[in-house]
Amino acid sequence: MIGIIDYGMGNLFSVEKALERLGVEAFISDDHERLRQADGLILPGVGAFKDAMDLLNENGLTKMIHEYVQTGKPFLGICLGMQLLFESSEENGLTNGLSLLPGKVIRFSGVDRKGESYKVPHMGWNKLRFDQDSPLLQGVDEDYVYFVHSFYVDADQSDVVLAEANYDVNVAAVVGKENVFGMQFHPEKSSVMGMQLLRNFTKLTEKGSTADEFYNLSRN
């Protein structure tokens, strides 16, 4: 059973339905106790970083999320939810994030190295390039996924990047460290590949999953 954290931000419905289509049981909740018992948690999110952190702090969800991650159960942030996993964001002034992953979230400059301007938000389909082996990327080919965002984590400045996409800069697209994962794009809106990636995440929540094997292998 996968819990989708409801904190008043984001497209929860589409994420829930995508999981349903995969045949995975999921629920949307803001109830700490229910969320704690889930086999995996998803933190979606659309909107502003500061508003999201304020809501997580006010609802006591920041603490709950930290405790949950400590248990070793899989945790996935999507879009803004991924950005929140990092230490800080420069959106609307500097705001602290959940600090589950090292790094900071910065804005696309809108001007490339040659001084030419480019469009922000980064909106549309962009191709992933895989950087590291991960259970999330197992059995998946590099393909296009759907992005919509104005802020990003610089893939060149981070060692938790599993896959990246290029949009003037190298954008961290899939990130992960131990049981904490994030996707900057919307897997629930990314057609076949998005569903494969979500499927891989949900596999991690199954007991004795390939992820356990994967981690045992990488630890040995």
CB of 197 to other proteins, least distance (A): 11
Nearer to other proteins, 17 or 66 (CB): 17
Burial class, 207, CB count within 10 angstroms (exposed 0-12 / middle 13-18 / buried 19+):
exposed
CB of 55 to other proteins, least distance (A): 12
CB of 77 to other proteins, least distance (A): 16
Backbone angles phi, psi at 106, to 5 degrees: -125, 170
Q: Which residues does the annotation mark as catalytic?
A: 79, 186, 188
**Which residues are within 8 A (CB) of 49 and not within 5 positions of it... i.e. 6 or more apart?**
80, 83, 84, 89, 91, 92, 95, 97, 105, 151
Nearer to other proteins, 44 or 64 (CB): 44
Q: Are 188 and 18 in contact (CB under 8 A)?
A: yes
Nearer to other proteins, 64 or 136 (CB): 136
Q: Are 174 and 146 in contact (CB under 8 A)?
A: no
Q: Which residues bind other proteins (CB under 8 A)?
A: 11, 13-14, 17-18, 20-21, 46-48, 80, 110, 117, 119-127, 144, 146-150, 166-167, 186-192, 194-195
